[in-house]
Amino acid sequence: MCGILAIVNKIPASNSQDLINAASIIRHRGPDDEGFMTWNQGENPTIWAGADTDDSTLNFYSYDRLQPDTKFRIGFGHRRLSIVDLSPGGHQPMVNEYARLAICFNGEIYNYLEIRDELYALRHQFNSSSDTEVILHAWEQWGPKCLEKFNGMFAFTILDYKKNQLYVVRDRFGVKPVFYYSDEKVIYIASEIKQIRSYPDFKFRLNEKMVKMFLATGAINHTNDTLYANVKSLECGHYMRIDLNRMNTEIETKRWYTIPEKKWKGNYNDAAKEFRKILTNAVKLRLRSDVKVGSCLSGGLDSSSIVCLAADLLKEKGDFAGQETVTACYADPKFDEWKFADEVIKKTGAHPHRTFPSFNQLMGEIDQFIWHQDAPTGSTSQFSQWAVFKATHEARLKVMIDGQGADEQLAGYGGNDIPFYTGLLTSNNFAGLLSEINAYKKAHGNYPKGFLIAAAQVAHPFLRKVMPKKLRITRENKVTFIKGGHTAERFSTPSVNLSHNLKRQMYLEPLPALLRYEDHNSMAWSVESRTPFLDVNFVEFTFSLPERFIYKNGVRKQILRDAMHGVIPEMIENRKDKMGFVTPEELWLKQEGTEWFRQEIDKACKQFSERILEPTEVKNYLEDMIAGKRKFDFVPWRIICFAKWYNMVSQGYNPYSE
């Protein structure tokens, strides 16, 4: 796991000081090593050492340290977190001189051993045991088609200096980030936007449309636009190709992956068995590492399944030492899941670490937290995740496995009910609908009347005209605290996206934002986070299943519960509540942090009253929430977090430089 950078000079513009600066600012992503490459057309690439490259690596490669005045057409910068092949053989950027390819890679290819064996059979020779070199040889053998073979999380730039082409690749589901910026002089490609901000000619411009959408709804990273008007994100499952023979460096973006349309043909019991088999293999692949692998453990279904499966796999290998886990805990039992996590600890013999995020910790670390995120966050739950990875770093763990991605595939969130019933209605599956209605009543004690009324209107829009007004759903809800008004897609009964089936709804869930939060939180503490639920074989399997295998008998994640029967504690299997990375933000707002929220909202209102916020509406919104007249939500935090982020970026503030 690492940080990458590529600079393409359209005209003689940058020297290597830009490379050095943009690599240094993300040292947290890779504190173990630093490397650079420069290339000019008609020449071979030159590999340079960085300031953090140790002497043994320097001697191994016999190259000099990069000089700040070196001129180049293409420059690569790399920060390395050593996980696979800890030797100097894994140093990057890496060049395959025979194939005339150079790579700068961030991520892990979990099935690299199997691909390497395939390449051995095709007479490829390797100089290291790293997955980076496997990518180079795979690209030499199959070109971009090799991406279809990779099971992993990855973002990389690969220079074909024989064909004068530069490729920028992002993995299927966007686990690893790629941001880019282009002007008349250069193209910047980076793991984090702060690298682009270090470019001397970069001028920060706010994307107000995206800002208003974020403040009104919390939506962020749902397109390739960012809160920066001049910075974009490469979409997941895409690659960019830059033809370096053209003076204007023409950029072509192409989708290389789409979830295939498959349908499971077996019965439910067979599906549950296959579910366990594929998930077990996904965890097994993610235990491949030359350093210790730990697990994030909340006590929920997802993380508990991973910890229990990992424990069984480690015992099969004869490793009885037990894995290490990290859990966020709170004094208030409403937010604390330790009793569930402790059941998993007892079952697996894992060695637990606990962290207790607090309002005081948030106040002490808020600048670092926002700086690392490069964008405001939707709630303080992301700070809970930050605290978990901080505790991971303090426990000297470099790799963690967690449950990110399960909720998006398995209907883990509330708000999936309407799309589920809508899908049954639009497919005319009335027998299934009746069965689910009765099962819901048995599970919850009442019929899902509100969900059914809303689903009927989504499936048959003409019904909206004849429904009583209080039951009618609407696509628009005016957000009055945004300057000039802002229309957000919300619903009066109840609040969800109007998707026409459950799978479409799950695909629309906020996975891109959650993955960015996770990447930036984990890498802030030099930790690699691995996500078995986003294994390509697992995702393709779950998307082949009938919706009623996932949301069954009124219970979400039913197939996960049944597949993990006997693997996870019964107490976990029967959990029906959903918490995730939570914080007692409502208590912070109404009790120990009330004055802080008021002061920060007041400052934000004064600063953004001309373009973005309606101060009176914002302050009334906050006071009604404090008084309990308005249901708690995360709008005040979003406004405060946005204001702090904006000031940090516009003023060039770095909390680590003081």
Pair 3, 179: CB distance under 8 Å: no
- Render pLDDT for 219-248 as a digit per residue (tens, 0 to 9): 888 889 999 999 999 999 999 999 998 866
Domain assignment present for residue 655? The answer is: no
Where are the alpha helices (H) located in 220-322, listed in sequence order? 268-286, 301-316
Domain boundary among 219, 234, 255: 255
Confidence at residue 485, expressed as pLDDT on a 0 to 100 scale: 67
With vertex at residue 520, the alpha carbon angle to CA 517 and CA 524, rounded to the nearest 5 degrees, is 140
Query: In the chain, how many domains are there?
Result: 4
Domain boundary among 232, 255, 278: 255
Q: Are strands 324-328 and 351-355 parallel, antiparallel or unpaired?
A: parallel
Confidence at residue 492, expressed as pLDDT on a 0 to 100 scale: 33
CATH code of residue 362:
3.40.50.620
Are 135 and 157 found together in one domain?
yes
Mean of pLDDT values over 31-49: 93
- Pick left, alpha or beta for residue 237 (phi over 0 → left; psi -120 to 50 → alpha; otherwise beta): left
- Residue 265 CA to residue 310 CA, distance in Å, equals 29
- Residue 325 CA to residue 339 CA, distance in Å, equals 14
- Write down the residue that tokens 């019965």 correspond to: 267
Give me 379's structure tokens: 């709630």
Give me 248's structure tokens: 């204007």
Are 211 and 282 found together in one domain?
no
Q: Which of 92, 74, 73 is nearest to 32 (CA)?
A: 92
Give me 483's structure tokens: 């300057």
Are 440 and 308 found together in one domain?
no
Pair 265, 212: CB distance under 8 Å: no
Are 24 and 157 found together in one domain?
yes
Mean pLDDT of the chain: 90
How many CB atoms neighbour CB 572 within 10 A? 22
Rounded alpha-carbon distances, angstroms, from residue 73 to 38, 76, 237, 273: 7, 10, 27, 53
Pair 496, 626: CB distance under 8 Å: no
- Residue 395 CA to residue 111 CA, distance in Å, equals 28
- Residue 472 CA to residue 489 CA, distance in Å, equals 15
Strand partners for 160 = 101, 165
In the predicted structure, residue 87 carries a pLDDT above the cut 70: yes
- Residue 597 CA to residue 363 CA, distance in Å, equals 11
Pair 183, 199: CB distance under 8 Å: no
CB burial of 540-562 (b: ≥16 within 10 Å; e: otherwise) equals: ebbbbbbbbbbbbebbbbbbbbb
- Residue 380 CA to residue 337 CA, distance in Å, equals 17
In the predicted structure, residue 141 carries a pLDDT above the cut 60: yes
| For the ranges 441-450, 460-469, 582-591, 612-621, the one whose mean pLDDT is highest | 612-621
Domain assignment present for residue 633? The answer is: yes
In the predicted structure, residue 491 carries a pLDDT above the cut 50: no
Are 30 and 170 found together in one domain?
yes
Are 275 and 405 found together in one domain?
yes
Domain assignment present for residue 578? The answer is: no
Domain boundary among 472, 490, 507: 507
Are 302 and 361 found together in one domain?
yes
- The burial of 267, by beta-carbon neighbours within 10 Å (0-12 exposed, 13-18 middle, 19 or more buried), is given as exposed
Pair 137, 174: CB distance under 8 Å: no
Secondary structure, 3-state, 318-384:
CCCCCCEEEEECCCCCCCCCHHHHHHHHHHHCCEEEEECCCHHHHHHHHHHHHHHHCCCCCCCHHHH
Are 463 and 601 found together in one domain?
no
- Residue 501 CA to residue 418 CA, distance in Å, equals 8
Using DSSP's 3-state secondary structure scheme, residue 251 falls into: strand
* DSSP 8-state class, residue 235: P
- Residue 417 CA to residue 103 CA, distance in Å, equals 45
Domain assignment present for residue 207? The answer is: yes
Confidence at residue 58, expressed as pLDDT on a 0 to 100 scale: 75
Query: pLDDT-based confidence at 496, cuts 50/70/90?
Result: very low
Q: Which of 46, 64, 68 is nearest to 55 (CA)?
A: 64
Domain assignment present for residue 296? The answer is: yes
Pair 16, 47: CB distance under 8 Å: no
In the predicted structure, residue 197 carries a pLDDT above the cut 80: yes
Confidence at residue 593, expressed as pLDDT on a 0 to 100 scale: 93
Query: pLDDT-based confidence at 340, cuts 50/70/90?
Result: very high
Give me 39's structure tokens: 């290339």
Are 145 and 235 found together in one domain?
yes
Are 462 and 515 found together in one domain?
no
- Render pLDDT for 598-645 as a digit per residue (tens, 0 to 9): 999 999 999 999 899 999 999 999 999 999 999 999 999 999 999 999
Confidence at residue 454, expressed as pLDDT on a 0 to 100 scale: 84
Domain assignment present for residue 656? The answer is: no
Query: pLDDT-based confidence at 421, cuts 50/70/90?
Result: confident
- Residue 438 CA to residue 238 CA, distance in Å, equals 43
Pair 327, 304: CB distance under 8 Å: no
Give me 620's structure tokens: 């009334």
Mean of pLDDT values over 511-520: 92
Domain assignment present for residue 553? The answer is: yes
Confidence at residue 60, expressed as pLDDT on a 0 to 100 scale: 77
- Render pLDDT for 277-314 as a digit per residue (tens, 0 to 9): 999 999 999 999 999 999 999 999 999 999 999 999 99
Domain assignment present for residue 260? The answer is: no
CATH code of residue 204:
3.60.20.10
Mean of pLDDT values over 412-423: 76
Cis peptide before 93 (omega within 30 of 0): yes
Are 6 and 64 found together in one domain?
yes
Are 185 and 123 found together in one domain?
yes
Q: Which of 22, 79, 157 is nearest to 523 (CA)?
A: 79
In the predicted structure, residue 486 carries a pLDDT above the cut 80: no
- Residue 362 CA to residue 368 CA, distance in Å, equals 10
In the predicted structure, residue 493 carries a pLDDT above the cut 80: no
Q: Which of 58, 378, 406 is nearest to 213 (CA)?
A: 378
- Write down the residue that tokens 């406004």 correspond to: 639
Confidence at residue 475, expressed as pLDDT on a 0 to 100 scale: 52
> What domain range includes position 312?
268-410+510-573
- Render pLDDT for 98-134 as a digit per residue (tens, 0 to 9): 999 999 999 999 999 999 999 999 999 999 999 999 9
Question: Directed axis angle between helix 338-348 and helix 301-316, to 10°?
Answer: 10
Using DSSP's 3-state secondary structure scheme, residue 533 falls into: helix
